[in-house]
Each structure stands twice: as C-alpha cells, then as structure tokens.
Amino acid sequence: MRVSLSRGRCAFTLIELLVVIAIIAILIGLLLPAVQKVREAAARMTCTNNLKQMSLATISCADTYNGDIPPSIGLYPNPRPAAGNMNGGGMIAILPYIEQDALYRSSSSTGDDRNNFLQCFSLWTSLPDKKVKAYICPSDYTQNGENWARSSYGQNGQLFRQGYGNWGGQYRKFPTSIGDGTSNTVMYAEKLARCNTGVYGDNFWPDWGPLLASDEYGGSAIGPHSFASNVKPRMSGGQGICTGDFASTPHDSLQVALCDGSVRSVRPSISNATWWSVLTPAGGETQGNDW
C-alpha cells in the first residue's frame, strides 16, 4: 500500500494578503506623524544653533571693534570711507566669525562712491549668489533652488542701525547701548526668505533684506502696535503670505536670539507691547508675563 504524505500549504490566500497590507498601512499611518515630529524637531534644533551662532558671532565682532555693533547696512568698522571697510549688510561683517572668512575675503573690491572707491568687502561682488548654511533654516519653505543669497533670519532694526556716516549713521555699542539688559533684548529673529509684502520682503542678506522693526528705511513694524510675527504663513507663488517688515516663522512659535547669546521661543500669543519692549534696547519698558 502506498501512503500519501500531505504537505503544508506555502501560499497566502488573497484575504490574508489584503489583511497584511492593511496592517502595514495602519502602521505607516501611525508612524508617519512621529517621523514628521522628529524631523521638525531636528530642523528646529538646527535653526536654534544657527541663531546662537549668529548672535555669538555678532558679540565677538563687536568686541573686536571697540564694542561697535555692525550696522544693518553701511560701512564698517569705520562709518566714513576707509580702506578695508565692509560695505553692505551687517551679516557680511560677521562672516569671519562663523567660519566664513574665505567667503568674506572673496568679496574684496574697489567698491563704489559710498567708500570713495577704496578697497572694501562689498555686497555686490561675490556674495549675491552665495547661500550660507548658517543663515538658512531647514524648515523655511520659501527658500528655493534659485542662486540668490537669502536668509531665514532677520536683524532687530532697533539694535542694528544704518552705518553710513555721511548719512548720519552711527553704530550702537555693545553692551552699553543695551540698557534694558542683554537677556531682555532681541538681536535676531526668524524671518522667512521671501514674503509677499513689505519693504524687506526679499530677505537678501548681503544687503538690508534681513532688517525688521526698523524706523530708518520706511518699515511699518515699529511701536507698541507692532505684532510679533507671522506664524506658519501660507504660500503663494513661492512666497509666504507675510510682511517682510515683521518677523515670520515656519514653526509653531517664533525663535529669537537675545543679546546675551541665548535663544528662546516666543509664543504667538505674546502681546504687541511685550514684543516691542524686547525689541527696544534701552526703552525702559517692563516685560509682561507673556515674555
């Protein structure tokens, strides 16, 4: 007699396959938000590090030049024409202090009439097409592949003043100009690379694009009525629906670097008066409980 041995079945049925696919889809759905949160946390940490690096670089730069804080735009370290000046936005001045000395020196030029055509480090030489990693927030969705030097951060226009001596420009001093205290005064804040309105909607960092809350160039974001920021602005044509005179952030809250080198988050609910009080370096205001 022959005895037939039954063999185990090796294949899945269609129903079993569909069940497995459904389970995988559910797991992916559960894991995706967690992955996105981790990615956003990493991008936010990078953004925090950038702001800290910029603030410490600015302090070091001021210490090098007798406490003179770089201008929002102008000549530096001499407000009058002189060989060796920087001619442009303040973020040029701090390049050597964020390990970008080679880029800084590549901008050497005879300049223009603002520096009497003397040798200077000019914004219109090698810098307009340079993207500096420390000036870009990974979450800034208005940064794009264009070969144009845009920043994701802005300078406090109440602290960074224009520095063309022929226009009456003067530098603020660190820390003597900051009567309200370095831990109570904003130095830098997040600001999207491209907003659709405002004087400074295009955040072109070699020039005065990063400027915010300025009363020197026609900005509107000044006084106690000034709101803190546009939080997660919507997009239109590659630009954020935001005003370039104000701070703006791709995160749930605005990150700012203070004049003591620390970085903190500012809630969207901060009052206009409190926000203005931390922009003015020596206004004598008292911060509210929302700071």
Residue 71 forms part of a structural domain? no
Alpha carbon 58 to its chain centroid, in Å, reads 14
Spell out the alpha helix ranges (H) of the chain. 14-64, 90-93, 101-106, 272-279
Q: Does 175 sit behind a cis peptide bond, omega within 30 degrees of 0 on the bond before it?
A: yes
**Quick check: is 20 in a domain?**
yes
| pLDDT score at 1 | 47
pLDDT in tens, the chain (291 residues): 455 545 555 666 878 777 778 888 887 777 666 566 667 778 889 999 999 999 999 999 999 999 999 999 999 999 999 999 999 999 999 999 999 999 999 999 998 899 999 999 999 999 999 999 999 999 999 998 888 999 999 999 999 999 999 999 999 999 999 999 999 999 999 999 999 998 889 999 999 999 999 998 777 778 877 777 889 999 998 899 999 999 999 999 999 999 999 999 999 999 999 999 999 999 999 888 999
Could you check whether the bond before residue 70 is cis, i.e. omega within 30 degrees of 0? Answer: no
DSSP readout, 240-262? EEEETTSEEESSSSEEEEETTS-
- Residue 218's φ and ψ, nearest 5 degrees, are 85, 15
Q: pTM score, two decimals?
A: 0.87
- Residue pLDDT, tens place only, 31-52: 666 566 667 778 889 999 999 9
Write down the pLDDT at residue 158: 95
Residue at 100 is within a domain: no
In a domain, 38, yes or no: yes
Q: How many structural domains is the chain composed of?
A: 1
Burial of 128 (0-12, 13-18, 19+ CB in 10 A): middle
| Residue 73 covered by a domain | no
Residue 83 tokens read as 């060989």
Range of the domain at 27: 15-64+135-279
255 is a domain residue: yes
Q: What pLDDT score does 32 carry?
A: 67
Q: Residue 285 half-sphere exposure, CB side, CA atoms within 13 Å? A: 19
Residue 286 is assigned to a structural domain of this protein: no
Q: How far is CA 65 from CA 13, 59, 61, 85, in A?
A: 77, 10, 7, 12
The whole-number pLDDT of residue 30 equals 73
Residue 55 placed within a domain:
yes
